[in-house]
Structure 1
Amino acid sequence: MSLVEPNSGTSTPLESTQSESETNCDLPRKKLRKGGLAFNKVWDYVIKGEKVNPRHYKAECFHCEMSWQRGRPYVLRSHLALYCQNVPEDIRRYWVNKLAEENNSHKRDSQLQ
């Protein structure tokens, strides 16, 4: 085994690894998703509270005093479409239509199987 002189112009495996990693740092990086479902649009219509666990948040309706310890998107959509007494009519109609689309999509999927 021979030692490499410090100024000999050749690099040790450690030095070559460092220069490769430094080179890789200059490359553009893709934004990586952590996985799981994309953040649901319903969160634009409710107040997102503190994080309960890595995937869930507390939620509160913008239009009434209803709150949830863990805001589940399907419950929030149903609330806005069917149960909230103070939600503006255009927002209610939007979520009623979304629920109908989801329901029709599920029916079509089950008929195909």
Structure 2
Amino acid sequence: GLSTHAPEQAARAAAAGADYIGVGPIFDTATKEHRRAVGTEYIRQADEVCELPGYAIGHVDSDTIDEVLAAGATRIAVCTGIIARPDPAATARLLCEKLTRQRSQELLR
């Protein structure tokens, strides 16, 4: 996989033979301090120019997941959004449940 931060990078990743792309960072995050947030609109943009599976990354957590999913994400990559929570297991379950619902809705479309 390749990390992407702009539509042109997503298109180049597909042409280069990547099997998936990282889409983000969606929001500012301490784990991607060297990158500015690209915002949720990039989720849709990447999907429009690249048929590869895209993983929304960058401060995706239980507070931001609804916005990320509303932008069309069907895959996420999460680090601090789980391990920094008081109950990481419960947070992981919540994120999985919301993601599963989103993916089920996508399949029905």
Q: TM-score, normalised by structure 1?
A: 0.32
Normalising by the residue count of structure 2, what TM-score does the alignment of the two structures yield? Answer: 0.33
Larger radius of gyration: 1
